[in-house]
Amino acid sequence: MNPLTELRYFFTALGYFTRVPVPRWVGYEPHYLNAAARYFPLVGVLIGALSALVYLAALHVFPAGVAVLLSMAASLLVTGAFHEDGLADCVDAFGGAYTREDVLRIMHDSRIGAFGAIALVMALALKWQALAAMPPLRAASLMIAAHAASRTCAISYLATLDYVRAEGKAKPVAQRLSGGAFICAAICGLPWLFWPDWFHAPDWRFAGSALAGLVVLRVAMGRYFVRRIGGYTGDCLGFAQQIFELSIYLVGLIWISS
């Protein structure tokens, strides 16, 4: 394993999923993206950390609800609403079409429809309310855990499903993910679930509950994608990431309420 090559793959992942400038020496080749998939959860860690820092800083000035909104705005700004776009496109397509061809056509359309707009508003509102209702330390730590673990679960589809478009923005990513690459991704993204309160002892029960929920959602969404379109698209991965992220926040809220 060449450290410089691995660093290039990490920067490729960072440049693909965020608007953060990357060094020129990284360059670009299509095969970089597939190799970079193992580092997608690590990019999620950085996005979650940015959100957490903005949230904790804003708490010194604003109420929790406003602080959460500012943290969400920061994550949307740094990612360009990359995954949220996938959520809206998928809901429009799956909600407004019957045939596979119509689903793919609507999903490819850059315009947002009523289904997508409603889903986007609902998802953002649920994130906002769930995080605002949590103690600050838990909310901040779950931002990191959710951004990281949700990306791990989303890219797991690269290992088991087929990419259904002949071409597309996600095509370079969409080669089959090897077992070793997915293990690397899981190591980067899943352990954060065990520390929902950062410096406290690992919470195995919460992590187990969150992981169980993620597995159930992962299987259910995968079967749905296969049934409707025979596999996945880049929008499907964005949709899945958003659902996984939201599910972690809701499990975290249930946990502190029980």
Rounded Cα distance between 112 and 110, Å, is 7
CA angle 155, 78, 171 (to 5 degrees): 35
- The model carries a pTM of 0.94
Rounded Cα distance between 257 and 85, Å, is 31
pLDDT attached to residue 79: 96
Mean pLDDT of 203-214: 96
pLDDT attached to residue 32: 81
Q: Is 88 helix (H, G, I), strand (E, B) or coil?
A: helix
Say which DSSP state 176 is in.
P
Residue 178 structure tokens:
């090897």
Residue 131 structure tokens:
């995080």
In order of 31, 42, 46, the CA distances from 13 in angstroms are: 12, 9, 12
Please count the other Cβ atoms lying within 10 Å of the Cβ belonging to residue 199: 7
pLDDT attached to residue 174: 61
Span 79-90, pLDDT tens digits: 999 999 999 999
Confidence of residue 224 (pLDDT cuts 50, 70, 90): very high
